[in-house]
Amino acid sequence: MDTRLLKQFLTLSETLHFGKASDLCHLSPSALSRSIKQLEETLGVSLFNRDNRHVELTAEGRIFQDYARDTLSQWDSLRNTLLCEAQELQGEISVYCSVTASYSFLYDLLRQFRSHHPKIGIKLHTGDPAAAVSQVLKGEEDLAIAARPDTLPPGLAFRSIGLSPLVFIAPVDDPLINPLLEPEPDQADWSQVPMILSERGLARERLDAWFRQKAIKPNIYAQVSGNEAIVSMVSLGLGVGVVPRIVLDNSPLANRVKMLAVTPHLAAYDVGVCVLERKLRSPLIQAFWSQIQT
């Protein structure tokens, strides 16, 4: 089967940029444009709205995006089922995780996986860990390293690979922040402490609950995406933040911040790999999933 047109369409639908997509597909922009036009003529609908500056999916394009993903997934599953007896799994799977998770958890997983399945390519995307579960649920990624939600969504499989406490951090010896936390953090007026918070996600939900428990309205200085950004802003003396301990341990700025002994403690992150249960029918994804040691 020739699946090149579907792959080219998906690449453009993900980048929404003809130049970037053509580079990834090893085509000229004009050749990619002809491929998309061929698809549109075959389907009888426009898949993209495009002008000299912008490219966006049409409503029909979003429907076709789901079809293309499912078709390629089923094709890979069929092809690898036929090759399974010869142990020649080949193809590509996509993985989403934070930058910290890419070297603190994913490294060991990939090292083992690649030694057993060298013909399976890994398409890695890094970003805000708060988006990890939704990336899998939306079908945009095959697997993700994520913190287990308090309630696991239906149809989502999760396999734990480690725990990481959530810790409060403050700048070291900052003349503005430290006096607000004296004599002890538990005795501080937390309504006056500037907070650097995640925009969304499990850490934000648990911290919001912590403030509600204390009947305090937080003094939010900034809301950011990504735990690494929180460590950076705290190290600059802009406020107090909450991050997973593993992020702090791996941060180049770890010596510029300090952990605070604050009660009640926030529940630790249960870090693991998540995948849609239906995708476990794919031999490629099942091969990755089966190697995870809880």
For residue 277, pLDDT over 90 is answered with yes
Are 285 and 158 members of one domain? yes
The model's confidence at residue 4, banded by pLDDT at 50, 70 and 90, is confident
* CATH classification at residue 74: 1.10.10.10
Are 200 and 263 members of one domain? yes
What average pLDDT does range 242-250 have in this prediction? 93
Are 144 and 27 members of one domain? no
Exposed/middle/buried for 274, CB within 10 Å: 0-12, 13-18, 19+? Answer: buried
Are 275 and 242 members of one domain? no
| Residue 56: φ, ψ to 5° | -145, 150
The model's confidence at residue 181, banded by pLDDT at 50, 70 and 90, is very high
Q: What is the mean pLDDT of the chain?
A: 90
The model's confidence at residue 237, banded by pLDDT at 50, 70 and 90, is very high
For residue 76, pLDDT over 90 is answered with no
Cβ atoms of 268 and 126 within 8 Å: the answer is: no
* 280, two tokens: 């476990």
Those residues whose C-beta lies under 8 Å from the C-beta of residue 37, and which sit 6 or more positions away, are none
The model's confidence at residue 44, banded by pLDDT at 50, 70 and 90, is very high
The model's confidence at residue 1, banded by pLDDT at 50, 70 and 90, is low
Comparing CA positions, the residue from 272, 284, 282 lying closest to residue 133 is 272
Into how many domains does the chain fold? 3
Are 52 and 99 members of one domain? no
For residue 207, pLDDT over 90 is answered with yes
How confident is the model at residue 119, as a pLDDT?
86
Are 238 and 193 members of one domain? yes
How confident is the model at residue 87, as a pLDDT?
61
How confident is the model at residue 86, as a pLDDT?
53
Q: Could you list the residue range(s) of the whole structural domain that residue 228 is in?
A: 166-267
For residue 294, pLDDT over 90 is answered with no
Question: Quick one: three-class SS letters along the chain?
Answer: CCCHHHHHHHHHHHHCCHHHHHHHHCCCHHHHHHHHHHHHHHHCCCCEEECCCCEEECHHHHHHHHHHHHHHHHHHHHHHHHHHHHCCCCEEEEEEECHHHHHHCHHHHHHHHHHHCCCEEEEEEECCHHHHHHHHHCCCCCEEEEECCCCCCCCEEEEEEEEECEEEEEECCCCCCHHHHCCCHHHCCCCCCEEEEECCCHHHHHHHHHHHHCCCCCEEEEEECCHHHHHHHHHCCCCEEEEEHHHHHCCCCHHHEEEECCCCCCCCEEEEEEEEHHHHHCHHHHHHHHCCCC
- Other Cβ atoms closer than 10 A to 265: 12
What average pLDDT does range 77-104 have in this prediction? 79
Are 54 and 173 members of one domain? no
| Phi-psi region at 84: left, alpha or beta (left = phi > 0; alpha = psi -120 to 50) | alpha
* CATH classification at residue 174: 3.40.190.10
How confident is the model at residue 183, as a pLDDT?
86
How confident is the model at residue 37, as a pLDDT?
92
For residue 124, pLDDT over 70 is answered with yes
Q: Which residue has the tokens 């929404």?
A: 16
Least confident of 23-37, 79-93, 110-124, 167-181: 79-93
Are 216 and 229 members of one domain? yes
Comparing CA positions, the residue from 233, 246, 225 lying closest to residue 165 is 246
Are 145 and 194 members of one domain? no
The residue among 88, 111, 143 that closes a domain is: 88
Dihedral over Cα of 220, 221, 222, 228: its sign: negative
Share of the chain above pLDDT 70, in %: 97
Are 22 and 45 members of one domain? yes
Are 154 and 232 members of one domain? no
How confident is the model at residue 283, as a pLDDT?
85
How confident is the model at residue 180, as a pLDDT?
93
* 55, two tokens: 């490219």
How confident is the model at residue 118, as a pLDDT?
87
What average pLDDT does range 46-63 have in this prediction? 90
User: What is the C-alpha radius of gyration for the chain, rounded to an integer number of angstroms?
Assistant: 23
Are 121 and 175 members of one domain? no
pTM of the shown model = 0.68
Those residues whose C-beta lies under 8 Å from the C-beta of residue 253, and which sit 6 or more positions away, are 231, 232, 235
What average pLDDT does range 272-290 have in this prediction? 90
What average pLDDT does range 264-269 have in this prediction? 91
The residue among 88, 123, 148 that closes a domain is: 88
